[in-house]
Structure 1
Amino acid sequence: MTGTDRRAEAGCTGLIERDAQWADLTALLSDAVAGSGRVALVTGPVACGRTELLHRFGERCGERFVSATCSALERDLPFGVAGQLLHALGAPAEVRDLLDAAARTAGPATAHQLHTLCLALLDLAADSPLVIGVDDVQHADPQSLHWLLSLVRRLGRAGILLLLARTASPGVAHSPLHTELSRHPHCHEIGVAPLSEAGMTDLFGGADAGREAMALTGGNPLLARCLLADRRTAGPDADGAPAPGPGFRRALVSCVHRCEPYVVAVARALAVTGAHATVGRLGRLAGLDVEAVRSALDLLTDAGLLADGRFRTDAARTAVLDDMPADERGRTHRSAALLLHDEGAPATEVAPYLLRADGADRADESWAVPVFEEAAEHALREERIDTALRCLERAHRACPEAHRRAAIAAKLVRVESRVNPAAAGRRLTTVTDAMRAGRLSDRDVRSLVPPLLWHGRVDEAAEAMERLRRARHQPGTADRTTELWLACTHPPLARRTRPPAGTDRDSGPAGGTTGPALRAVTALTTVLTQGPDEHAVTDAEHVLQVARPSDGMSWGPQTALPALHALVHAGRLDLARSWCDKLLDDARARDLAVAQALYAGVRGDIALREGDLAGAHAHARDALTLMPPGGWGVAVGVPLGVLVETATKQGRHEEAAAHLTQPVPDAMFQSRYGLPYLHARGHHYLATDRHYAALADFLSCGELMTEWGIDQSVLVPWRTSAAEAWLRHGKNRDEAKRLLGEQLARLGPETSRTRGVALRLLAATTAPQHRPRLLDEAVAVLEECGDQYELARALGDLSNAHQALREHRRAWSVARRAWHVANVCDATALRDELLPSRRGPDDESSEEQPPTDPISRLTDAERRVAALAAVGLTNREIAGKLFITPSTIEQHLTRVYRKLNVKYRKDLPTGLHSHLPDTA
């Protein structure tokens, strides 16, 4: 039959793929009308259309059709089914009295009762044929079933068509009903099967949709209709692919409950075990033998609910799980976990069942403690922090032994710090109590030092370090790592030791024999105590090359952050920016909010040092959004300092003041994280004419850095800032000059942003005719370092110096460039301050609009490099011509591409060629 024929037939009967069954019933009806009684046993899997076929055919028969529906809940009601039929047919009063009396006695049916009731029905069919339908006959009460069997034997020449519908099951062939019907030639069995893919195509109106619906429903008509209804109510996308919705889930649960109780038990056990289901495991969970389990699986498969022994969709499995009472669901999951554990299954398979059993009776769950701990380790390696935390929390609750329980609590602090440092801080009191009671190992005590200091609990951290130092016989790698980490983050707690020169470099490639954590803190400590160091930069890069988000109990940012800070404080901002962006992207891809916040804080510091004020503000704001200030602990000084300084430099002084009202821990000022905060606050005070307050903050930075042995300008250039405060105040130029001379002497001839700032400020202490030379040098240094904000300030001062010497044309040209640089770095206050100086060389009253030529945004050094790159020279060739390093060429080109908004050399504007004579 073609698809068109099937649809035509369906249009007549309202059914799809039931033509043969309809034809058989029609033939049997014709025989019954002719006076030959007939019986049809309609069988099929659960919810496959038996009931619908029965009632549709009954509707065709009209008023001579009567029906009864059997229910497992009414099996104890004697003659309940017989009563439904006879009352509907208007049986005589004596028959109804007989039924009432039989119901009261509630005993087995007698031969007299059966004979009387059969005769009564045959009399009712004497005048015109009857069609009698009995649905779910397998649930009929025993008395009614015996009556139906007696009626089958007496049909003979009666005009009756008896339609019996029952669910197919493995034991149906051995039931009394089936045995009796097989003895009589006027009894026929009509099978109803699930729909085929062709039928599903007709129902869903397309081959693709039909195929997908077949995969979801197995051809079960009830599920298919509910799936179709879900699609129709899904909204504008109703014509899309079928997807299980609430109607589908309700229908699937209904199909399960139409089965015998043992089938329901197997379905629930299967929903719990999922991919780990076997016939044996299902039997032990459901309390059934193997044959019963196989019978239940066959029934569910025949009904289209299962495929290959599994639910067809996660939605189906979830629907069955959700239908289970909570206590039963918890007990079954716990039983499944114990079953798998006894079979030797790995912890990664056992633990999920225990986690889903939360709320069930957990008496004597101590066997699960090592399971939870091992599963937590696996979850940490895969960065599934929430799962690791749940495992450790359950292990902590279930562990009866005090020392092990304390060790698990210490793990919880370390792990929770990765996703919620504030919450981890609330566990510290319990863990420190365990430390004082001697229930923690040295490894666990050492792991507590960073979170204790992060949350400002300095005394307890000092107590932990004192215990470690007393217990230490021969310091190991972990001890050295902790001491060096303290030296560069919390110097008051550190022993006065310098990093072992050369030790890590002698150990070979990155990681070597010492590991990346020690290598990273060694590089940072070297930079902070001895200044920029190429070996430290190399070590930091090696660490970042092997860095990964996590490795068991070692957290990636703990290693990556010191390496990043080493690059930043060594002045290698280009490398630090590249690595930080990479780590940020990776943390975003993994949705690691705390890691993103930490890397964003570093990225904001990098942008601030490059003079990118808008970028610095955005990154610092992101850092405090991803992790609120309460989670930052003492490290909040880094992002807050960036926000205060960027707001100050952009002239948004009220915003800077608002950031300074944010409460910060007192312990922050005993750590390196307090230095950038103090420095930024000092600049805010300076910008708002509170010179003495600013000077106090700058000098506090100097005192702390000197006391801690980390007096390096790459950390905080307190001398230049204090000198600027004296110069602004105008009362102690000699002290300013002394500080600047001291700073320049400590820096040496190397190029650095601090040197450029010091030269700019030193120019203010000299005679007007000497200022341009110092300021020219400051501009050249800042151009190479790439600090756009300080470059704009130096250019502004240079313009003023030329103006003072009445070199108006040169002053105008420099001011024009200063305005552009300030505009590029979003220094709005400085840009507005430079506007009055931007007058034409001959007309001091006229103001020009900023030129639109993008090349004018480049510094002189950038223009020289870009011009040579535009004519095809390589980085090495350009470096040879300009007598600078290839690395510096790369930095210049990176900024050129960004400012000109190009990606490749071939895209550089031809206007750069006019600058070639200057570079020859």
Structure 2
Amino acid sequence: MALVERGSAVEALVGHLAECALGGARVVAVAGGPASGKSCLLDLFADRVADSGALLLTASGSRGEREIPFGALRQLAAGLPPAEGDFVDRVIAAARERSVVLAVDDVQHLDADTLGLLARVRAEAVGLPVLLVVTDWEPLSGPLTAHADHRLRLGLLTETGVAELLRAELDDDTAAAAYHRITGGNPLLLHALIADNRSDPAAAEPGLAFRQAVVACLHRWEPRLLAVARALAVLETWSSPAALAELTDQTEAVAARLTGVLTSAGVLVGWRLRHEAIRDAVLGGLTPTESARLHLRAARVLHQRRARPVDVARLVVASGEVDDQVLDEWVVDVLRAAALDAIATDRGEFAVRCLELVLPMTTGRVRAQTAADLAGAVWRHNPADLLCLSEVDPVTALRFTLWHNDPERPTEDAGLALANEWIRGCRLPTRVSTSWERASAALMPGLTRGALGEVIANAEQVLHGCPLGDRTVEVLAAAVTGLMLADRVDLAERWCVKLTAAAEQRRATTWLALLGAVTAEVELRQGAVRSAYATAQRSLDLLPARSWGVLIGLPLATMIAADTAMGITDSPALREVVPDNMGDTLIGARYLRARGHHYLASERVLAAIADFQACGRVVTAAGADLPGLVPWRTDLAEAHLRFGRRRAAMHLARGQSELPAAAAQHTRARTVRVFALAGHQPIRLLQEVTESFRACGDRYSAAVAMAELSAAIAARGDTARARRVAKSAADEATACGVGGLLDRVPTRRGDPNDHTATTLSDAEHRVANLAALGHTNREIAHKLFITISTVEQHLTKIYRKLGVRRRADLHAGLAVHSGRVADLGRSPVR
């Protein structure tokens, strides 16, 4: 083992040996804290004594032999040559022939009889070369060491010494500061930490060897030292001699002395244990019952000393239980006060633990309020955990039912009633009193009337006046959505950043999840496709699916739409399980719309039509037919154009354009785009659409419109200009994180002069009708007097033109082709 910062001590002892040889007995006491290297020093000195030719007698004190008379004397006498007389006479006789060194380790544990003989040796060896070297606890207090002729003190290793040892042991001293910070320079702890990190010296990570060394270090001293260390571990900053004395049943003087020992061992800095690993080590040996008892006793001590409720509660919570011995009224008061402080300072998990402990100890109004506080704290971090609570207050229970689309019921909470309007499309009966509540209540009616200026003003009033909290986060999210629908996506983005930062500071997981979903939707409206997907994925990951309820449709809709934009034809988000009752909510309509467009991009036109129709039914039934939120008419019109049904598409687009709620520029651009794709002045209108989307900040929609404009220009024969526009479209899409846009935009969608791509020939129509009726290919061939091969060729073209993939879909496909599907040509709401 390398000798570090102990060489001078060894040389000092060798010097005392040389002086003794000249004829002068003396006692040298070596002091130091636990595991400071006193025993190692004696071993090194013993090697030098052996080299000098002096007689070496050694012994080590033991706590177990302290009460055994002359227990250590046998060790010392074993090295004496045979002679007449008792031990002292024999030592004196040996000293007349050569120098004698008596090296005794842990002299504080020697029995009284052996100590008496050593005192006689010192007294009777005057003028003889006798050197008595003993190691003792610090401070020196024994009868032999208190009056020693010379004293040596071994301190902790410096950072320089630690670096020297690391170079010797690991050939790497880059982490010397960390090793010194963790061990305090205690040699035993340092060697243990080195052993834990031989494979990766730079890690400096305390492991099993380090924890074992901490316990061994403290066990070497008296038993009360470990008890004091454990008390310090739980009291932390509230430690003091008086508190330690009360907790460990010691006097203040003993407590103060033992904290000094811990400081000399390097494990204590001020009143705190040096490192968390040391704390874990000293508490690790306790049984669960012992640990609980220690923490509860410490809590009582702190309460009696008027400590802050949060500090007292921390100990009660750490105990994991409250037994009858501490079931006093002060426990209830402390836990409730600490929980309210934790809620106010956004330490939700601690608040939940306090309230869980105190709830069974309360009754009446206090119990009702405690249950409400507990439910609110749980909701903020994981709504699904409400299902594990025995009691939930009415407001939180209503919020849970709102997120899970359970039957509506009246509420006195205005925030929930207003949020319900944006989730389910109807407002719960309630009273509004504050200005922000009135402004929030006016958002949906303002959008319905197309009063965008009012919507913007009211949304900002909500965002400025409504504090972010458990009962208002949905209202604030709705206000941000209102700004987006009113073409102020720039303001929506700004408020998303501000609200998210506040939620992060408050460490409110549920808020972050909902605000993240809204932020992703805003990013998608801006055309930041990849960013929107990533934001939606992060928000989705914050909560388990059962916590989201029907609101899971928000992030999933964004992810599906982003995948569609990026050309992914099988979005993983579609495989996520959603609640069965999500479909009849506005959230569900947004999800269905995203899924419909995904189907449309995958040429599953009939499935897309079914989803768009469902969107129309949901928003109509909810009384929230907002084209800015769910433009189902233009979506359905686009699907019609896939079948060449130009007249039906334009009818739907006109129906949307006549709605007051379609006043937003972004919504108007969607409507005009349908007219353009249907072949009505496509170049002029697509130019207008492109500029409108740009003005709204929607770069991706602008890129799509430019790609379609390029196709329209190319159809007129201006290929040079078409190429320039196509390049601009591709560049814009790339900036949005989307590649391959030009490959996915149909070049002649809805061209009134091109019927061949979607119109069935007479022969194909006959084959399709028979196949839809269930006839086999052989039966069709027999009825129409054609070959089976011809039937198969016709069916291949029929599937492509009708946008179906299997025989079972032919009936619906023919109905769409002939305009007979559920009044597709009429708008359900005018």
Which TM-score band (shorter chain)? 0.7 to 0.9
Which residue matches 2:573? 659
1-structure distance, mates of 2:45, 2:78: 21
Matched with 2:535 is: 619
Most deviating of 578-587 and 279-288? 578-587
1:633 to 533, 540, 549: 549
- Using the alignment, how far apart are the partners of 2:162 and 2:326 within structure 1? 54
RMSD: 4.3
Q: Give per-residue Cα distances to partners, 1:19-38, cap 9 Å, x unaligned.
A: 5554334323432xxxx655
Structure-2 residue corresponding to 1:452: 401
Partners of 1:776 and 1:494 lie apart in 2 by 44
Work out the percentage of aligned pairs sharing the same amino acid: 32
Deviations 1:516-573 (A, max 9, x none): 6x3674364345544453343234335445777x66xx37744532222221222211
Q: Secondary structure at the match of 2:234?
A: helix
**Maintained 8 Å contact 2:182/2:274:** yes
Q: How far is 1:703 from its partner? A: 2.6
SS at match of 2:381: coil
Q: TM-score, normalised by structure 1?
A: 0.70
Alpha-carbon spacing, 1:339–1:780, altered in 2? closer, same or farther (3 Å): same
Q: Is 1:758 matched with 2:671?
A: yes
**2-structure distance, mates of 1:270, 1:642:** 53
For residues 274-306 of structure 1, the C-alpha deviation after alignment (integer angstroms, 9 at most, x for no partner) is: 211122111101111222223323444455554
Q: Quote how far apart the aligned CAs of 1:84 are.
A: 1.9
Which letter does structure 1 place at the counterpart of 2:22? S
1:57 aligns with 2:17: no
CA pair 22-243 structure 1, distance change in 2 beyond 3 A: farther
The answer as to 2:20 corresponding to 1:28 is yes
Equivalent position of 2:61 in the other structure: 70
- Structure 1 residues 776 and 56 mapped into 2: Cα distance closer, same or farther (>3 Å)? closer
Map 1:373-388 onto structure 2 (within 5 A): 373-388=336-351
1:72 shift after superposition: 0.6
- Contact 1:194–1:221 (CA under 8 A) maintained in structure 2: no
Q: Does 1:698 align with 2:612?
A: yes
Q: Does 1:490 align with 2:481?
A: no
Larger deviation, residues 822-831 vs 661-670:
822-831
* Range moving further from structure 2, 573-582 or 212-221: 212-221
Q: Is the 8 A contact 1:201 1:209 kept in 2?
A: no
3-state SS of 1:663 partner: coil
| 1:85/1:484 CA distance change after superposition, 3 Å | same
The one-letter amino acid of 1:614's match is: R
**Per-residue deviation, residues 377-410 of structure 1 (Å, max 9, x unmatched):** 32233333332333333334x5253765565444
CA distance in 2, matches of 1:562, 1:708: 16
Q: Is the 8 A contact 1:571 1:714 kept in 2?
A: no
Instruction: Determine the structure 2 residue equivalent to 1:473.
Output: none
Which structure 2 segments of 5+ residues have no match? Answer: 168-172, 749-830
Q: Say which SS state the counterpart of residue 294 (structure 1) adopts.
A: helix
CA contact (8 A) 1:17 1:195 kept: no
CA distance in 2, matches of 1:613, 1:807: 31
Matched-pair contact (CA < 8 Å) for 2:20–2:99: no
Q: Offset at 1:752?
A: 1.6
Distance (Å, rounded) in 2 between the aligned partners of 1:829 and 1:208: 51
Segment drifting more, 583-592 vs 781-790: 583-592
Amino acid aligned to 2:483:
L
**TM-score, normalised with respect to structure 2:** 0.76
2 CA distance for matches of 1:835 and 1:488? Answer: 35
User: Which of 441, 454, 457 is the matching residue for 1:522?
Assistant: 441
Aligned to 1:738: 651
Partner letter of residue 444 of structure 2? T
- Deviation, 1:191, is 3.9
Q: Distance in 1 between matches of 2:174 and 2:185?
A: 14
The residue that corresponds to 2:788 in the other structure is none
Q: Secondary structure in 2 aligned to 1:164?
A: strand
- Matched residues in 2 for 1:818 and 1:214: separation? 61
Picking from 787, 793, 796, the partner of 2:698 is: 787
Displacement after TM superposition at 1:714 (Å): 1.3
Alignment match, 2:595: 681
Q: How far does the alpha carbon of each residue in 1:460-483 deviate from its partner, in whole angstroms, 9 at most, with x for none? A: xx4xx35x5xxxxxxxxx533332
CA distance in 2, matches of 1:418, 1:677: 25
Partner of 1:346: 308
Which residue, out of 465, 472, 495, partners 1:579? Answer: 495
> Is 1:80 aligned to 2:43, yes or no?
no
What is the alpha-carbon distance in structure 1 between the residues aligned to residue 343 and residue 596 of structure 2? 42
Letter in 2 for 1:454: W
Q: Secondary structure at the match of 2:391?
A: helix
Distance 1:116 1:663 in 2: 92
1:832 is aligned, of 743, 749, 767, to 743
| Counterparts of 1:153 and 1:796, CA distance in 2 | 108
Confirm or deny: 8 A CA contact 2:136 2:145 kept in the other structure. no
The answer on whether the counterparts of 1:540 and 1:564 sit within 8 Å (CA) in structure 2 is yes
> What's the CA shift for 1:485?
1.9
3-state SS, counterpart of residue 576 of structure 2 = coil
Look up the equivalent residue of 1:339 and give its one-letter code.
V
Query: Could you tell me which amino acid in structure 2 is paired with residue 136 of structure 1?
Result: D
Q: For 2:57, what is the secondary structure of its paired residue?
A: strand
Check the 8 A contact 2:156/2:266 in 1, yes or no. Answer: no
Q: Aligned pair in 2 of structure 1 residues 25, 714: CA closer, same or farther (>3 Å)?
A: same
- Given candidates 249, 254, 272, the residue that maps to 1:292 is 254
Amino acid corresponding to residue 448 of structure 1 in structure 2? A
Q: Deviations over 1:336-359 (max 9, x none)?
A: 111112233221221222222236
- Which residue number corresponds to residue 480 of structure 1? 414
* Residue of structure 2 equivalent to 1:420: 382
> Aligned partners of 1:786, 1:543: CA distance in 2, in Å?
23
Residue aligning to 1:917: none
Which residue does 1:192 correspond to in 2? 153
Structure 1 counterpart SS, 2:380: coil
In structure 1, what is the equivalent of residue 335 of structure 2?
372
More relative contact order, 1 or 2 (CA 8 Å, 6+ apart): 2
Residue pair 1:45, 1:299 contacting (<8 A) in 2 also: yes
Deviations 1:36-93 (CA, angstroms, capped at 9, x unpaired): 655444445444454344333332222721211011112233322112222343668x
Cα distance, 1:256 vs. partner? 3.1
Please name the residue that 2:136 is paired with. Answer: 166
- 1-structure distance, mates of 2:731, 2:181: 65
Residues 763 and 771 in structure 1, CA contact (< 8 A), matched pair in contact too: yes
- Is it true that 1:143 corresponds to 2:77 in the alignment? no
Q: Name the residue aligned to 2:244.
A: 282
SS at the partner of 1:673?
Answer: helix
Cα distance in 1, alignment partners of residues 575 and 521 from structure 2:
21
**Separation in structure 1 between the aligned mates of residue 247 and residue 108 of structure 2, nearest angstrom:** 27
Asked whether the equivalents of residues 593 and 615 of structure 2 are also in contact (C-alpha less than 8 Å), the reply is yes
Residue matched to 2:219: 257
Counterpart-to-counterpart distance in 2, 1:691 and 1:196: 78
Secondary structure in structure 2 of the residue aligned to 1:80: coil
> CA 1:588 to 1:482, structure 2 compared with 1: closer, same or farther past 3 Å?
closer
